[in-house]
Chains A and B, each alone.
Chain A
Amino acid sequence: MIRHWGDVSNDTSAREKYRRTLAERNDATGAFIELDVDRRPPTRTGGALSGVPVAVKDNIAVSGFRLTCGSRMLESYRCPYDATAVELLYESGAFVPGKTALDEFGMGSATDSSELGRCVNPWNREMTAGGSSGGSAAAVAAGMVPAALGSDTGGSIRQPAAFCGVYGLKPTYGAISRYGLVAYASSLDTIGIIADTPERLAALFGAIAAEDPRDQTSSARPEGDGETERPAGQAVAGGVSTEASSQTVDNSTATADPAAGGAQPAGRAPTPADLRIGILSGDLGLSGGVAAVYRETIDRLSAAGATTVEITLPCLEYAAAVYYTIATAEASANLARFDGVRYGRRPDYAENPEELTRLARSAGLGDEVKLRILLGTFVLRSGFHDQYYARAQRLRTRITNELAAVFEQCDTVLAPVFPTTAFPLGESGPDGLARKQADRFTSVANLAGIPALSLPAGLADNLPVGLQLVGPHWSEPRLISLAQQLHREQAPPKPPDFPWEWS
């Protein structure tokens, strides 16, 4: 019998069953670093997410739980406060059953580097769940929670969502407060959502997207857009149903965007027939399986009446290099705070404060984090700054302009998320540089600050293939609505080993 997710917190026996399911499935997947259904039970009923469990990536603050970021540096750090996004989830009636596994500080593509918890793909446990929000994606795919918070700096929500066959939303930069998200690369970081259906994405986005005085870079939807002031907790699925402002796309679709939430249509949602979908032409370097699903999905959209427009994005050639230059530079500054004094791990003995910091960092940070700090320090160094960091900043402007021009030709771009399906864990997988170069399709949205939604589009060799819908600033309702229509046509399959008990 399939029951509603809200029921898992109904009574002692429902809770007991949920607790057991979570424990079994966590043994199988490693999705959670810390798991405790009873630690923060729901305190509010009647909200849109009443009684629904939502997992939270362990680089986002939830008081009562640890906040490790998957790092030995913060292994014992107990979090004293809630992120704004988490506060808003509580106000909607949701509860947090635990914190999910990640690559250390969000730096990675496989959730395989942290010593605090490694995670596998529920579809095939020899494969990676993706990263860095691998635990959040695996938890949703394995039917442990219907939704989870993650963070996306260069693809860290969309890539694991694609690998695990679930939905992932990286919102417009600033749409969801970053207060309580441990900073990796501040100009690129976003909190986002992983969920089992587009409706659930819409419900969570409606609950947590809000301007927040505690995050200066957060912003409300532009004025005239109907959602400048959203009372906290007004978490209805239709909460995202207001008009998507698309300054550059001034055509009939711009007035036909409402009702992405679907539950309470305030007007007609855009159908594929209303939309011009941008399709990437040329050799994209995709594996055979991913290329086939990309073509099939284009055909599905065409069959539904969408106009497809062939576009090119020359910036895909260099986007990942720009992304990693900027991300590592910002990371080197953001992670300077882990000095062994203010947070976390500290050596037993040091000769002086400088040595204390060196010993703490050298012992507390993992290989990939050290690599990125070194890279970021190097690209900012006097004498190398112009060659690397300044150049990347200029190219970032070009990428932003290139995308703005693309959104004059089409309303939404359908693009791959990653060139392959989930890759094998361990030595036989791609090496560090190959993984970084493969972030080219996802990192452009972070560099331009625009939203992108990863959706499960098919299978290749029994592994999910994800594709992403990318739109201009604040076009989340349109992206969700389109994903919904594809979902209604053909609901994506679930991993065979993890039948759903709740829906």
Chain B
Amino acid sequence: MIDAELRKTAELARLNLSDEEHERLRGEVENVLSYFDSMAAAEAAQGGATAYAVDDNPSEAGGNGAAAAQARSVSQLRPDRIRTESIAETLLESAGDVEDRFIAIPNVL
């Protein structure tokens, strides 16, 4: 991976990397990415993508046969029910500094 790509990626990930970190992580990122490249050889000739271990639409996701049947068997919709449940108060209590129902944070301007 060239330096510019790693800088751009760190920028997107909102991480500041020191020069020392940049050097060290570049090696590791390159290592792992070249390992990821081994997936190319194993590229699926057929089938779609699985985004979730239990898929709501296995047929659309390209699964078929037993796998799709299995996925359907564990994928269920729950009935609509009215619930009232909130831990908002508890969460507010754990905030460092509260004004009314707002969490106060330092000025960042």
- What residues of chain A have their CB less than 8 Å away from a CB belonging to chain B? 78, 80-81, 172-174, 187-188, 211, 213-214, 217, 219-220, 222-223, 245, 247-248, 315, 317-318, 321-322, 324-325, 332, 336, 339, 341, 346, 350-359, 361-362, 365, 367, 370-371, 373-375, 377-379, 381, 387-388, 390-398, 400-401, 403-405, 407-408, 432-433, 436-437, 446-449, 472-474
In contact, B32 and A317 (Cβ under 8 angstroms)? no
| B residues in contact with A341, CB < 8 Å | 105
Tell which of A222, A373, A404, A433 touches B66, judged by Cβ atoms closer than 8 Å.
A404
Q: Give 1 or 0 for each of B1-21: 1 = CB within 8 Å of chain A CB.
A: 100011001101111110001
In contact, B12 and A381 (Cβ under 8 angstroms)? yes
The reply to whether the CB of B102 lies closer than 8 angstroms to some CB of chain A is no
Tell which of B13, B33, B51, B83 touches A187, judged by Cβ atoms closer than 8 Å.
B51
Give the docked Cα–Cα distance between A392 and B51 (Å). Answer: 10
* A contact face: mostly helix, strand, loop, or mixed: helix
Within the complex, the shortest CB–CB distance from A83 to chain B, in Å, comes to: 12
17 contacts between A and B (CB under 8 A): A187-B53, A219-B74, A245-B73, A315-B42, A324-B36, A357-B14, A362-B16, A374-B10, A378-B9, A388-B36, A393-B48, A393-B49, A395-B43, A396-B50, A405-B66, A433-B28, A474-B74
Within the complex, the shortest CB–CB distance from A317 to chain B, in Å, comes to: 6
Give the docked Cα–Cα distance between A42 and B27 (Å). Answer: 50
Within the complex, the shortest CB–CB distance from B49 to chain A, in Å, comes to: 3
Within the complex, the shortest CB–CB distance from A114 to chain B, in Å, comes to: 18
Q: Give 1 or 0 for each of B61-103: 1 = CB within 8 Å of chain A CB.
A: 1111111011101111010010101010011011000000000
How many residues on the B side are at the interface (Cβ–Cβ under 8 A)?
63
In contact, A80 and B94 (Cβ under 8 angstroms)? yes
A448 with B74, Cβ < 8 A, contacts A80-B90, A401-B47 known? no
Give the docked Cα–Cα distance between A343 and B5 (Å). Answer: 29
- What residues of chain B have their CB less than 8 Å away from a CB belonging to chain A? 1, 5-6, 9-10, 12-17, 21, 24-25, 28-29, 31-33, 35-36, 38-44, 47-54, 61-67, 69-71, 73-76, 78, 81, 83, 85, 87, 90-91, 93-94, 105-106, 108-109
Residue of A nearest to B8 (CB): A381
Within the complex, the shortest CB–CB distance from B84 to chain A, in Å, comes to: 12
| B residues in contact with A395, CB < 8 Å | 39, 42-44
Within the complex, the shortest CB–CB distance from B73 to chain A, in Å, comes to: 5
